Amino acid sequence: MTGQTSAPGIVARDVCKSFGSHLVLDKVNLTADEGSILALLGPNGAGKTTMVRILSTLIPADSGSMHIAGHDVVTDPDGVRALIGVTGQFSAVDNLLTGAENLLLMADLRHLGRDAGQRRVTELLEQFDLTDAADKPLSTYSGGMRRRLDLAMTLVGEPRVIFLDEPTTGLDPRSRLTMWEIVRELASAGVTILLTTQYLDEADQLADRITVLDQGRIVAEGTPAELKSRIPGGHVRLHFADPDLLRSAAGLLPAAAPDQDQLVLQVPADGTVDSLRELLDELHEARIAVERLSIHTPDLDDVFLAVTGSHVTGRPDEHPTPQGAAQR
């Protein structure tokens, strides 16, 4: 999946955009090789959606140059539109039509012709597991089904470059996995994909390269492995009932960091069940009672902490877990 091809699917240089006096994108550079997956990772308000809207010809940038599969976004928007597919954050389906009618509408607007259009619709309904619901009104669709239909509509014209703006936000875990599977299949078929996400694990799972955006600026860029090597690993927090127990435990585990005030011992861990079992066995044999424990896996907040030295700076009312993130 990693790019052995060199023709760039998406290239953006020095993209700037302000809304009024508010600078939303500050000299953003992006590159996605053809057939690769680029994840744009960042909290709410980082400018991810704005970047997608600019690259997909919805709004103009204030400055900068952007090319999609060689077509200039500014001077040849229709050339770009013929190549791209966009699935936005908000469902872009026609609620008064059935699933099949939605897809057929796209086929007609892509000028596929009656027979080819019908074939493509049948194919996509099957691929996205929507055949049974094809002739039902969208009011009967679940959230996951709507997302799948949304993406299927994007794929009707077999776009070479796809923009997915937070494709799994609000999906249940199972639908999320289905969506990941679809994204991987598309990339292996040679489609270039730019996806935005707030979840480190999603970027880690899917992307060939990750660009981290914070307040309109790129703060980190690299492969998932490169980025993760910059993040301190996960850890287990052990909570004790009294200071003596904490002291004994700290003596037993020299790599751990004790917190006398909170009676907590922070033990580095890789998050596997085996290592956790080993740790608990060790404490058990030394007859040190642990009151409770919490497991912490690295997330977006850790990336930000590592690359910017501060916690995520998303708008406080919109970001779900800045407070609880370190304790999860």
Partner 1 sequence: MTTLAYTLSDSRVMLRRNLKHQLRYPSMTLMLVGLPIVLLLLFVYVFGGQLGAGLGTHEGRSAYLDYVVPGLLLVTVASAVQGTSIMVAMDMTGGIIDRFRTMAIARASVLTGHVLGSLIQTLAALAVLIGVAFGLGFRTTAGPLAWLATIGVLALFAFALIWLAVALGLAAKSVETASNTPMILFLLVFLSSGFVRTQTMPGGLRQFAEYQPFSPVVDTVRGLLTNAAVGDHAIAAIAWSVGIALAAYLWAIRLYNRRRAAEPK
d(Cα 193, Cα 209) in Å, to the nearest integer?
11
For partner 1, which is the closer residue by CB, 70 or 243?
70
Number of residues that bind partner 1 (CB under 8 A): 38
Check residue 108 for interaction with partner 1 (CB under 8 A).
yes
Contact region for partner 1 (CB under 8 A) — 88-96, 210-218, 284-292, 308-316? 88-96
Q: Structure tokens of 19?
A: 């809304």
Residues 100 and 134: beta-carbon distance below 8 Å: yes
Contact region for partner 1 (CB under 8 A) — 106-114, 216-224, 275-283, 295-303? 106-114
Q: What's CA 41's distance to the chain center, in Å?
A: 6
Residues 195 and 184: beta-carbon distance below 8 Å: no
Q: At what angle do helices 99-109 and 114-127 cross, to 10 degrees?
A: 130
Of 101, 123, 175, 280, the one binding partner 1 (CB under 8 A) is 101
Q: At what angle do helices 173-188 and 143-155 cross, to 10 degrees?
A: 10
Contact region for partner 1 (CB under 8 A) — 36-44, 73-81, 169-177, 306-314? 73-81
The secondary structure of 53-96 as a DSSP string is: HHHTTSS--SEEEEEETTEETTT-HHHHHTTEEEE-SS----TT
Check residue 36 for interaction with partner 1 (CB under 8 A).
no
Of 7, 59, 116, 241, the one binding partner 1 (CB under 8 A) is 59
Check residue 116 for interaction with partner 1 (CB under 8 A).
no
Residue 53 CB, nearest distance to partner 1 (Å)? 8
**Environment class of residue 236 by beta-carbon count within 10 Å: exposed (0-12), middle (13-18) or buried (19+)?**
buried
**Residue 150 Rama label (left phi>0; alpha psi -120 to 50; beta):** alpha
Residue 318 CB, nearest distance to partner 1 (Å)? 10
Of 16, 23, 92, 263, the one binding partner 1 (CB under 8 A) is 92
Check residue 35 for interaction with partner 1 (CB under 8 A).
no
d(Cα 98, Cα 143) in Å, to the nearest integer?
15
Contact region for partner 1 (CB under 8 A) — 90-98, 120-128, 233-241, 293-301? 90-98
Check residue 126 for interaction with partner 1 (CB under 8 A).
no
For partner 1, which is the closer residue by CB, 144 or 224?
144
Residue 88 CB, nearest distance to partner 1 (Å)? 6
Which residues of this chain interact with partner 1, rule CB under 8 A?
Answer: 19, 24, 49-50, 53, 56-60, 78-79, 81-82, 84-86, 88-97, 101, 105-106, 108-111, 137, 153-154, 157
